[in-house]
Amino acid sequence: MLKPLIIGMTLLVLCAGITAVSALGGDEAWYRVHCNIDGADVYFDGQYQGTTYGGTLDVPVYSTGTPYSTVRVEKSGYHTYTASLPSSPAAGETRDVYATLQPVETAGSIHVTSSPSGAAIYLNGNYRGTAPLTIKNLSPGTYSLDAERSGYLSDRSTVTVRAGQQSNIQFTLTPIEQYGSIKVTSSPSSAYVYMDGVYKGRTPLTLTSVSAKKHNIELDLSGYYDWKSTVTVSPGVTSYVNAYLTSVPSETTGAIDVVSYPAGADVFLDDKYQGKTPSAGVYTISNVPVGSHTVRVALSGYQDYTTGVVVSGATTSHVTATLQPGQSTSTGSISVTSSPSGAEVYIDNAYKGVTPVTVDGIATGTHAIRVALGGYSDWSTSVQVGTGSTASASASLSPVPTEAPPHAGVAPFAVVGALGILGLFVALRRRD
């Protein structure tokens, strides 16, 4: 009797509980949560409702109960989805909710370029391809990258990869400097050799450690035409240049090429201003008389460069002036005139031309001037030359006095008397 009584009481309690729940929630309805990922946890207003399976989860609600307002769907490795719930479904109705979870990116990438392109790229020592190249699906962290290309120095760098980001790196490769040599001979020998405008010595000559590329070779020899050519040097190979020089007829003038470092310097030939050295190339002094000359190169803030140059007919001599920083020699000019003109001018006993003449490139200070003209007395003075200024000297020449020969008035009578004595002597001889 006791056991049937207990079972009956238990059923009564259960029925009473179901009636109480129905009374609290009213009629049942559902939200059907659709998700692209199985195993995602679903929360309504922060309360766990279950886990998606087969792409959905049905969440029961009661149309007469307090409605939910927000939904949250989450799963490890994915961004959490949150949204507002649509209006509560009516009793017996199902309302759809769609939640799409996006994976949290855990990998990054590296984009590699090189100059020149085509370099082989190694990631942590492993070959990955040639630049330009994008290396994907890399775990966050620091990696080493190497770039290699034939004829260039290899390069290495490190790069940090961050999740969901692309790191960029550019390799600028440096060409490997390679060398060869050039052996230069000439007929006749002892010609001056210039490579790319720089004096190297006299033939026969072997140039070593020459960079592997194209070079300009020039040979100069007094009495012969200048000889020019180009030669391409290959790594580890000796190139040969043999020049047959052609003699030139005797000429009265030649030329001087002047290069200065730095450029923009004033060029003086025998203390006469010629022009400025250009920023690129050479300054050429043409029609220079054959013989020895003095070239001076001057630039503010640098010491003057002075050298002697021997000019041969129809040839070009070369001057390369490497200026040293320091106090430059200050110069000015002297202008000399005379009456009459055409007189020779000497400054500090050095001949400078005929009047009227202006002599440039004179060092500052006191200088002696002498003016000479045939038939006139020499005229002398001294002038003070200042920096960048022109000192003047004007000579008024005086004729040399003409003196009469001694006894000029007696000479005719002496001649007549001598003739008379001679005639008398001849007459006496005939009588005898």
CA distance 377 to 405: 21
Residue 402 DSSP class: P
- More confident site: 326 or 277: 277
Q: For residues 25 and 62, is the Cβ–Cβ distance under 8 A?
A: yes
pLDDT tens string 64-122: 888 999 999 999 888 999 999 999 899 999 999 999 998 887 889 999 999 999 999 99
**Range from 183-187, 204-208, 226-230, 288-292 carrying the lowest mean pLDDT:** 288-292
Give 356-405 pLDDT, tens digit per residue.
998 887 877 788 999 999 899 999 999 888 776 788 999 999 998 875 55
Which CATH number applies to 108-172: 3.40.50.2300, 2.60.40.1120, 3.40.50.1000, 2.40.160.20? Answer: 2.60.40.1120
Answer whether 0.85 is exceeded by the pTM: no
Closest to 192 in 3D by CA, of 180, 183, 181, 205: 205
| Residues 264-310: tens digit of each pLDDT | 999 999 989 999 999 877 999 998 998 899 999 999 899 999 999 99
Residues 210 and 213: their CA atoms lie apart, in Å, by 8
CATH class of 331-396: mainly beta
Q: How far apart are CA 60 and CA 67, in angstroms?
A: 11
- Report the alpha-carbon angle 394-275-363, nearest 5: 45
Question: Which residue did the predictor score with more confidence, 254 or 417?
Answer: 254
Cβ-in-10-Å burial (0-12, 13-18, 19+) of 412 comes to exposed
Q: What integer pLDDT is reported at residue 35 of this predicted model?
A: 96
Domain ranges of the chain: 22-99, 108-172, 179-244, 253-322, 331-396
User: Class assignment of domain 179-244?
Assistant: mainly beta
Contact 192, 319 (CB under 8 A): no
Give me the pLDDT at residue 52, please. Answer: 96
**pLDDT of residue 134 exceeding 90:** yes
The one-letter amino acid at 345: V
β-pairing, 283-289 vs 291-298, is: unpaired
- From 2.60.40.10, 1.20.140.10, 3.20.20.140, 3.40.50.300, which CATH number describes the 253-322 domain? 2.60.40.10
Of 79, 115, 116, 69, residue with least CA distance to 99: 79
pLDDT tens-digit map of 235-246: 889 999 999 999
The domain defined by 22-99 folds into Immunoglobulin-like (2.60.40)
